[in-house]
Each structure stands twice: as structure tokens, then as C-alpha cells.
Structure 1
Amino acid sequence: MRAAVVRTFGGPESVEIADVPVPVPGARQVRIRVAAGALNPVDAAVRAGVFGGAGKTLGLGWDVAGTVDAVGAPAAWETGDPVVALVPGVADPLGAHAEYVVVDAGAVATAPASVDAVHAGTLPLNGLTALQALDLLGLAPGDRLLVTGAAGAVGGFAVQLAAHRGIEVTGHARAADEELVRSLGAAHFTADGAGPGSVDGVLDAAVLGAPALGWVRDGGAFVAVRDGALPEVERGVRTGNVWVRADGAQLAELVRLVDEGVLTLRVAEAFPLEEAAKAHARLAGGGTRGRLVLVP
């Protein structure tokens, strides 16, 4: 089968399309025939060597939408089931940017019925990241949340999910994105930040760090969506990073919200798998609103 891989670290030109063996599902795993999968910044980080793995062949792609092709018993899925899944891992030989991928059965959810596979393939990584970050924040209806990077994939989902929970959301993004961010459910918008201590929590999807921490009230909560150093704790503010984990039950909840119209799936452009390097170059150019998607 064909798969997008990296053998040497570098820019978009380092992405190759290789012929690799079709993976075989083990116990409690399923093999998915891939229909589509989003390209994410984490793929660019793998390609650049951020997570290591020099000398290995590394697969790319964390998002998958497709159909179950084979099942390793026991698993509660059948051949032909339309599904979505998160394919977690940054140093594995195969990722979701391939014709087939194997995942744990517990990472899988039935695909949304209201959208096509290209759109469904944008949901798992960013939707689960936003959901798990909100859970870490632990805010209640009526609390005030500021989301940085609110026009991006994670930030956009976070705005929609938080607003759906009854949280008062301020979206932080470039001024040109105000209309988009408000359309996602933000009650307020800022391109310049917020007053000191003015919100109960910050979901820092743009990884602004210390300045965004200053916007949180004493005893509030701050969660960044990228692994790494957090701002120094101050004023009793709880801080944490979210490192997304596969969770089929949570993914099924996100699918339900897609089908109910609560969550919007945004696609900027779709590329055939053979043009993976071109898609990486487009991602590196910045400025996309919505995900780039690879289609085998």
C-alpha cells in the first residue's frame, strides 16, 4: 500500500510516498481503509524531527475517516462500518496518511452521518484536544473563558464546545477573524488580549504563555494545548498542558455534536495522497482557515 513517510528530517520536500506492507490488526484492533485524514501541525513537527526518531521510517497522520476493513477479535466493529478515529503517535512506522491504518478498537467511533469523509477526517485530533482541554479547565456554565487562537482548528472547536456548555466565551484572534470567531459562538472578541484577572480560565491554543496567564483571575485555570514548558505558576492559578489521547467514547460525543449542528467541520483544501509534500508546503505557508486534508 501507499503511505506518506519521512526517512530524513527537513521541510515539506522530505515527505515521501512509499510502498509499505498492509498492516494486520491484532487483538482488539481494527484496520481502517482510509478515505481521508487531516494534515496537522504535529505532522510538520514529526517531519522536522521535533519528536526524534532519526534513522527510522516515520509515518504521518493522526486523523482518519474511512471504513472498517478487518477486525482483530474481540472488537465491537464489523467490516464496512463507517468510522473515524485518532491515530496517536509521533514515532511510529505508519500513520493515518496511508491507504490503510490499524488502531485500537477503543479509539474508534461511528463516522458522522451529516458530512462527507473529507470533513469527518478533520474531527478526531483537534476535536478531542479541545474537549480534553476544556475538561482540564473544569469551568462551569456562566464562567468566563478566553480562547487564544480562536480562529484555528483547536480554538474553533473549543469556542463551540464551551459555548454549548453555557460558558461565556471570549475569542482571541487576528482582527480579520472576528466575524468567523463570533459565528462559532464567541460572545466577545479581542485581538489585543484582556484585562488582568478578567476571566476564570484561558484555553491557550495559540501558546501565548505568560501574557495569557495574566488574564486569568486569582485561583482560576490555564491550559495550554501544546506539550512543553508552562508559565510559572502565580496567584493560585491552576496550570496544565493537554496531550491528546484516543478515546472512542469522547469521539462519539463529538460526532453526535457534529450531526446536531453544534460543531462545524472546516476544510480549506483537499489533496490526493500523492501530493502530500505539496500539502505540507501549503501548511508551512500559513494562513489557512480550516484543515488541509489528504485523500488516498
Structure 2
Amino acid sequence: MRALVARRLDGPDAIELIETAVPEPAAGQVRIKVAAAAVNPVDLGVTLGFPVKFGLSAAREQSGLGWDVAGTVDAVGPAAGEYEVGTPVVGVADLLGRSLKTHAEYVVLDVDAVVPAPRGLELVEAATFGLNGLTALQAVRALQPEPGQTVLVTGAAGGVGGYAVEIAKHLGLRVVASAGAGDEQLVRGLGAEYFVDRAQDLPDAVRRIAPAGVDGVVDAAVVGIAAQEAVRNGGRHVHVQGGPRPPELRAITVQQLFIQVGQADLQELVRLVEAGVVSTRVADTYPLEQAGLAYKRLAEGGVRGRLVLVP
């Protein structure tokens, strides 16, 4: 089979399309014939060696690429539940240190990381929400929200931030969205009640809306202290990516969130997609042999929607 890997770890130019053996599922695993796999910022990070630099993964000769996947079950290992060959599924490959991942023609995943795909959704669209949707779901949950509370979402036009806006709105929260000036219509369409241009002084702009501060922030843009200054005393700050963990000032609870993939949350996310709460946005598709173009386009920034590889 063909698969994308990174070996040099010096950016998107390090991506290699290799020929390798089709992996076999072990106990508690299924093999998926990949129909589509989105490209995520974390994949760019892998090509730059960030997991090794930040101590999240050991150095290795070859790093697999790709987290999201949609496709059909191709083979089933022992004790892998009731999956049948041909079942449409979505999954997330959450281990950084794998030599082969979802940017390939086939991928093997633990059954806990796989669920049936949303009904009525094309598999290219189904490949777009797994990693970012799970991160957003777990981030909003970490705020311990109560209906009627006001929350700030930074990076609200991005993958994680956009889903956080939709999920927070669904839970009855009032959302203040921070994004670029050109994204106001987009984030309001996702459910934001208030909009703050990211070029403004964030704490001042948010406190003009919520003078005592918002109840919590999902900091998808990793703004850090500036985002925390918009939170009321005793509120919550969810820091959803790597980098330094912000201090807990003014009795604010800070949680640095790393996604945990499990069937229960994946099933909940699929339910939200089927209900129209969580949207799917495909910006463009690329064949595996043109994956470098997709990675470079993502690295340039400004992509709204997902870039999806189609083997």
C-alpha cells in the first residue's frame, strides 16, 4: 500500500509517499480501507518534529502522518466486537509515535477509536470532524458549563474553535467569539452571540461585553494570559494545545487539554453531526501523491474548512 511518512522532520517538504506492507489487525483492532483523511495542524507539527522537541514522543526513524480517517472496515482482528467488513466508519489515530497512520490507503486502529460513520454523510465529509470535534467537545465539557453562562472561544473560525462555538451554543451557553475581522459572519453563523476582532485588545474588548469577565474560555488559539484576563475570578481556562501552561491567577482553574479518544465521545460526536449541531466543511480534496500541496496550503494559514486527502 501507499502511505505518507516523515523522516527528516524539517517541514512539509519532508513528507514522503512510500510503498509498504498492508498492516494486519491484532486482537481488539480493525483495519480500515481509507476513503478520506483530513490534514490537521498537528500533522504539520509532526513534520517539524514538534512531538520530539516537546518531549511528547521519542525520536524515531519514521513518523506516520494523519489523525482523522473515514472509510470502510476491511479486516477484523480477534475480540474486535461486532464490526463487519464493509461497514462505513470514522476513527481517530491518537498515538503520536506510530510509524504508519491515517494518511495511507489502509490503517489499523483499536476498536475504541472507531465508530460507525454518520448516516447519510459522504465519507469525505465524515473525515473532517473527528480530531477537532473531540477536542472541542472535551474542552467545552471541561468548562463544567451551566446553561446561560457566557464563554469566550479564541480561534473561533478554526477547526477546534468553530466546533467549540457550535457545541457551546447547543448547550445553552452565550458565546463570545474571537477571530479575524473577515470571519465575523462565519462565527456568528456557527452560533456566536458576540464577536471580537482578534486585532483588538482581547481582555478589554471582552469585558466591554461581560464587565465582570466571562465564566470560562476555550483558548483554541493559544492566546494564553490575554485570554485568561477576560475570565472572571474563579472561572475556568481550557488551554487546548501544547506550549507553556498558563498560571492559575485569580483562582481561575486552568486545564491543559490533550484529547482522549474513546468510543463514547466519538459516538456523541457522530450524534451531534447527525443532528446538525456539528457541521462539516470541506475546503478542498487532494490525492495522496499531491499531499505536499495540501500540507503547504495549510501551513500558509487562512484555510476555512478542511483539506482532505483521498487515496
Which TM-score band applies after superposition, normalised by the shorter structure? over 0.9
Distance, in Å, in 2 between the alignment partners of 1:277 and 1:106 is 30
Measured in 2, the distance between the counterparts of 1:241 and 1:112 equals 29
Say whether residues 1:72 and 2:72 are aligned partners.
no
Unaligned ranges ≥5, structure 1: none
1:201 CA drift (Å):
0.2
Q: CA deviation at 1:197?
A: 4.3
C-alpha contact 1:228 1:241 (8 A) present in aligned 2: no
Partner amino acid, structure 2, of 1:133: A
Structure 2 counterpart SS, 1:207: coil
1:98 aligns with 2:113: no
Unaligned runs of at least 5 residues, structure 2: 53-57
Aligned to 2:55: none
CA distance in 2, matches of 1:184, 1:62: 24
Does residue 63 of structure 1 match 2:78? Answer: no
For 1:231 and 1:104, locate their aligned partners in 2 and report how far apart those are by CA, in whole Å. Answer: 33
Q: SS where residue 50 of structure 2 aligns?
A: coil
Does residue 277 of structure 2 align to residue 262 of structure 1? yes
- SS at structure 2 position matched to 1:8: coil
Determine if the alignment matches structure 1 residue 39 to structure 2 residue 39. Answer: yes
Amino acid at match of 1:247: G
Does 2:287 correspond to 1:281?
no
Alignment of 1:1-296 (within 5 A): 1-52=1-52, 53-76=58-81, 77-191=83-197, 192=200, 193=202, 194-195=206-207, 197-296=212-311
Distance in 1 of aligned mates of 2:191 and 2:84: 37
Kindly provide the amino acid, as one letter, of the partner of residue 179 in structure 1.
Answer: Q
The number of aligned residues is 296
Conserved? CA contact 1:9–1:54, under 8 Å: no
In structure 2, what is the Cα distance between the partners aligned to 1:85 and 1:135?
21
* TM-score under structure 2 length normalisation: 0.93
How many Å separate the matches in 2 of 1:227 and 1:154?
14
Which AA in structure 2 matches 1:75?
A: A
**TM-score, normalising length: structure 1:** 0.97
Q: Please say if residues 207 and 224 of structure 1, whose CA atoms lie closer than 8 Å, have aligned partners that are also in contact.
A: yes
Alpha-carbon distance between aligned partners in 1 of 2:13 and 2:244, rounded to the nearest angstrom: 30
Which amino acid in structure 2 is aligned with residue 14 of structure 1? A
Q: Is the 8 A contact 1:8 1:55 kept in 2?
A: no
Identical-residue share of aligned pairs (%): 51
Q: Which runs of 4+ in 1 moved over 3 A?
A: none
Q: How far off is 1:232 after superposition?
A: 1.6
Residues 121-177 of structure 1, C-alpha deviations (whole Å, 9 max, x = no match): 011100000011111111111111100000001000000001000011111101110
- What root-mean-square deviation, in Å, do the aligned CA atoms of Structure 1 and Structure 2 show? 1.1
Question: Shift of the alpha carbon at 1:258?
Answer: 1.0
Superposed CA offset, 1:65-118 (max 9, x none) = 000111112122111110000101222101100011111101111101232111
